[in-house]
Amino acid sequence: MSRTPGRPRAFDRDAALEKALREFWRHGYEATSIAGLTAAMGIRPPSLYAAFGDKRGLFSEAVERYQRTHGAFTTRALAEEPTGRQAIERVLREAAVNYADPGHPPGCLIITAVVNHGPEAEDIEAELRVHRVAAKRAFAERIEGDVQAGRIPADTDVEGLATFYAATVQGMSRQSQDGATADELDRVATFAMRAYPA
């Protein structure tokens, strides 16, 4: 076993990626500058480009890391709960706590990081949209499961209900950016669950 030749990297790549992730999370993709990134990461531009390629590549890695860490609660809740209703309620309750956590920027990176952008960032918007439509699709599949199991009426508007909860989560994200607390978001979740079919 031998280490790679050449001068070793002087910074922690994962720690630097987490710093970059939070910059993108707080300011969004385009409004985050290389200068802001390097300042937050504690490195100089050549180190950033050597380790992550370019700004676009760094952002994609940040998204990947977000999905694996801060945003993983959604996938877990949808996979672990026994019913669609319980799965969606858990997503909403955990989103309430997570989005308003003062330990990191408010809201959800996937929802908020690429809202305002110029013409050259449309592929990045599309990259995040893939995750959003996948989440909505997962909602629909769990709701459909409740229909198939006879837990909710057979004539339930599954797609409409999934869109409603996708919109609820996105609205909670925006509310947290306007200063809503975890308690306020939890009460939003409570009202949203009243829409779930009996």
180 touches a second copy by CB under 8 A: yes
39 touches DNA by CB under 7 A: no
User: How many binding residues for a second copy (CB under 8 A)?
Assistant: 45
- Alpha-carbon distances of 17 from 43, 44, 71, 147, 167, rounded to whole Å: 11, 14, 15, 42, 29
93 touches DNA by CB under 7 A: no
4 touches DNA by CB under 7 A: yes
Using CB under 7 A, pick the residue from 28, 49, 60, 67 that binds DNA.
49
123 touches DNA by CB under 7 A: no
Q: Which stretch binds a second copy (CB under 8 A): 5-13, 21-29, 39-47, 82-90?
A: 21-29
Comparing C-alpha atoms, which of 103, 7, 110 is closest to residue 50? 7
121 touches DNA by CB under 7 A: no
118 touches a second copy by CB under 8 A: yes
CB of 115 to DNA, least distance (A): 16
CB of 173 to a second copy, least distance (A): 8
Rounded-to-integer distance, Cα 53 and Cα 17, Å = 13
Alpha helices, DSSP H only, in 53-117? Answer: 55-68, 72-80, 84-99, 109-112
